[in-house]
Amino acid sequence: MKNTIAICPGSFDPVTVGHLDIIKRAAGMFNKVIVVVMTNASKHPKFTAEERVRMISIAAADIPNVTVESYDGLLADYAALKGAGAIVKGLRAMSDFEYEFQMALTNKKLNPNVETVFLTTNVEYMYLSSSMVKEIASMGADISDFVPEQIHDIIVERLTSERK
Ligand code: PNS
């Protein structure tokens, strides 16, 4: 895994402590990690790609080998563009598996030079999802256990302003 560029792709709408845990662990395994905000055709993001990139950049600012970008195209093409050898994804539960397995096989077909590496989520974050964070915050409840501290206020302000 030395000298391999790894990509951590996702919607990150918004980035959670669960995502950040995967990003940190990937940064310990690969010499360079690119976190990339992408479009998931089945989701309608609340935050713009620029907002999501900014939030991840703030949350991951202390990890030296991590950079953050956005890309509006195929992950397999992005990996080729960056010369990446690995795609790192977090797996929370069996319910994630089928979808992630399908994506990994498709990406391998489209770009045979890239391996998908699954990291099992930290058990603490097993239940966590960006959709739950958005729902809880928009109802005015506390999300401080779920999102990185440095971006907590940005998320709360943005999601609660819709109710005012
Ligand atoms: O955080 P998510 O929503 O589970 O991430 C999914 C994402 C954005 C990585 C996936 O939808 C994706 O790779 N989108 C880019 C377009 C693409 O390559 N689609 C084909 C996937 S096999």
Rounded Cα distance between 154 and 164, Å, is 16
Question: So what's the pLDDT on residue 68?
Answer: 98
Q: How far apart are the first and last CA of the chain?
A: 49
Whether pLDDT at 164 is above 60: no
Rounded Cα distance between 140 and 119, Å, is 32
Chain segment 91-109, per-residue pLDDT in tens: 998 788 999 999 999 999 9
CA of residue 108 to ligand 1 center, whole Å: 13
Task: Verify whether ligand 1 is closer than 6 Å to residue 40 (CB atom).
Answer: yes
Whether pLDDT at 26 is above 70: yes
Q: Is the peptide bond before 64 cis (omega within 30 degrees of 0)?
A: no
Q: State the closest ligand 1 atom to the C-alpha of 74, by its place in the atom list counted from 1.
A: 18
Question: So what's the pLDDT on residue 163?
Answer: 61
What value does the mean pLDDT take over residues 122-135?
94
Q: Which tokens sit at 98?
A: 């089928």
Chain segment 66-75, per-residue pLDDT in tens: 999 999 999 9
CA angle in degrees (0–180, nearest 5) for 33-29-89: 65
Please list the residues that pair with 118 across neighbouring strands. 89
25, 46, 52, 92: the catalytic one is 92
Rounded Cα distance between 151 and 89, Å, is 22
What pLDDT band is residue 155 in, cutting at 50, 70 and 90?
Answer: very high
Active site residue 108: no
Q: Which tokens sit at 11?
A: 């919607």
Whether pLDDT at 1 is above 80: no
